[in-house]
Amino acid sequence: MKNRNFVNLTVNPCKMCMPLGAATALKGIENSVNILHGSQGCSTYIRRHMATHYNEPIDIASSSLNEKETVYGGAANLKQGLKNVIRLYSPKVIGVSTTCLAETIGEDINSIVTEFKEQEGIKDVSIVTVSTPGYGPSEHEGYYLTIRRIIETLAEDEKPTNKINIIAGNITPGDIRRIKEILDLFKIEYTIVPDISNTLDAGFNDKYKKLSPEGTKVEDIKKMSGAIATIEMGMFISDKASPGKYLEDKFNVPLYRCPLPIGLENTDTFIELISHISNKKAPEKLVQERSRMIDGMIDSHKYNGEGRAAIFGDPELVYSVSKLCAENGIKPVLIATGAKIPNFKLKVEKNIELQEECVVLNDTDFETIYSYVKKLDINVLIGNSDGRFIVEKESIPLIRMGFPIHDRIGAQRKVFVGYEGSIRFLDEITNTLIEEKFNSYRGDLYEKYFVK
């Protein structure tokens, strides 16, 4: 498309939809199942994306609205779907998320669910409703808003506990396992929501289970209102979608926000918060890991000076990875997210020491990203596999990070957080730059000195 003559035309969006973020959050709760109120195709699309990224079976129910329900309303379909889900899965938690179709025709899922529970006498199943129109913001907002709705539905006014609430960012199951290891080193009690460490990266089992007993326990979510503090991983969460803000406003649980702990400074911030809240010093193991990371940064810094990175995807990941690159001499010259984040450019430029002028794109698409990649002399791409067409057209290497990753195996096991995860990721970036240089330096020299 040479000319874009339409206002706000999006070509290949650099984001996923809100219901997908909701589905990811719900997969981190024990014995939970998600039902999408909308057409069958929406649940199929999300199942496909999640199954090929996490390489795990993904069950998502659908109210299967068609032409008739679009005109007359889909309450009967949703009620029947809820009946079937309860009968087939016996879940503890059901998440009811909307789609474009349900939102467009004005379905009131709260009223439908309330009426269903009264009609059927449902008492032992918690049903969480969340409005997630696909034409709304992105999976970023859908993810955090769903966590908030889960906590709003389940949290009770409990007695004080010694636990710390951790609102996890939309990171990998491997990352969640690493976060839990860090918390365990402090020997503190905590509740992490959502816990996808074993639900979206389960071990082999010769007997198929419809629902995973792993994930955050419902009883632990109920007690989050009595925690000593909440640490929320995310710099771009609106107050309306913030789980931590709800706990602070409703139950006076102090809220601390931090970036995803990727990179030296961001990991330091996370560790310092835990230390401050728990009144405990950082364990020696973490001190040693930090020292090794600094040593690794020194080792790789001399190779990174020529790195010119385009970083795209989820705003929280993009922010933290850009900071990791800037800390190590790799120049983030293009930072892009498809999510619509107020003051995104301002916050990036304020908190990341950029070595040169950087293009920061908010609410963007891949056509726009591609147009800048060609202008800015980019030599490494960092983002999800939706950017692979740029590799095909421009032969620029892509380091895969974020969601979705459909053309590689093991995305669910990769670890990016903490000191060890950060230096592993930095090594991957540095080695990609080294390989790219040695693959092309002879041709570059020939063009520089012999081609007139």
CATH code assigned at 69: 3.40.50.1980
Amino acid identity, residue 440? S
Would the pTM of this model clear 0.85, i.e. be above it? Answer: yes
Nearest to 386 by CA among 409, 372, 413, 365: 365
CB distance 193 to 93 below 8 Å: no
Angle at which helices 315-327 and 418-449 pack, to 10 degrees?
Answer: 70
Query: Does 87 lie in the same domain as 172?
Result: no
Q: Verify that 128 and 168 share a domain, yes or no.
A: no
Going by C-beta distance under 8 Å and a sequence separation of 6 or more, which residues neighbour residue 352?
A: 319, 322, 323, 326, 332
pLDDT at residue 449 tops 70? no
Domain presence at residue 149: no
Q: Regarding predicted confidence, which is higher, 355 or 124?
A: 124
Give the amino acid at 113.
V
Q: What is the pLDDT of residues 7-58, one digit of tens each?
A: 456 788 999 999 999 999 999 999 999 999 999 999 999 999 999 999 999 9
Per-residue model confidence as pLDDT tens digits over 300-345: 999 999 999 999 999 999 999 999 999 999 999 999 999 999 999 9
Q: What is the C-alpha separation between 237 and 226, in angstroms, rounded?
A: 23
Has residue 126 been placed in a domain? Answer: yes
pLDDT category at 158 given cuts 50, 70, 90 is confident
Q: What is the pLDDT of residues 252-309, one digit of tens each?
A: 999 999 999 999 999 999 999 999 999 999 999 999 999 999 999 999 999 999 999 9
181 forms beta bridges with none
What's the one-letter identity of residue 267? T
294 shares its domain with 440 = yes
Q: Residues of the chain with pLDDT > 70: what percent?
A: 95
Q: Walk across the sheet containing 229-233 and list its strands.
A: 190-193, 164-167, 229-233, 255-258
Q: Is residue 133 within 8 Å of 103, Cβ to Cβ?
A: yes
- Tell me the pLDDT tens digit for each residue of 93-102: 999 999 999 9
* Residue 398 β-bridge partners: 381
Question: Is 319 in contact with 348 (CB distance < 8 Å)?
Answer: yes
Question: In angstroms, what is the C-alpha Rg of the chain?
Answer: 23
Nearest CA among 353, 323, 337 for reference residue 236: 337
What does the DSSP 8-state code read for residue 318?
A: H
Domain end point (choices 223, 253, 278)? 278
Does residue 87 share a domain with residue 129?
Answer: yes
Closest to 167 (Cα-Cα) out of 109, 235, 107, 97: 235
Is position 5 within any domain?
Answer: no
Strand, coil or helix: what is 48? Answer: helix
- Which residue range is the domain that position 112 belongs to? 18-141
- The pLDDT of residue 97: 97
pLDDT given at position 206: 85
Q: For a pLDDT cut of 90, what percent of the chain falls above it?
A: 86
352, 413: one domain: yes
Domain boundary among 278, 297, 320: 278
Over the chain, what is the mean pLDDT?
93
Whether the Cβ atoms of residue 392 and residue 37 lie closer than 8 Å to each other: no
Task: Assess whether 292 and 272 both reside in one domain.
Answer: no
Assess whether pLDDT exceeds 80 at residue 6.
no
Tokens 């009883």 correspond to 219
Q: What is the rounded (10 degree) CA torsion for 166, 171, 174, 177?
A: 0
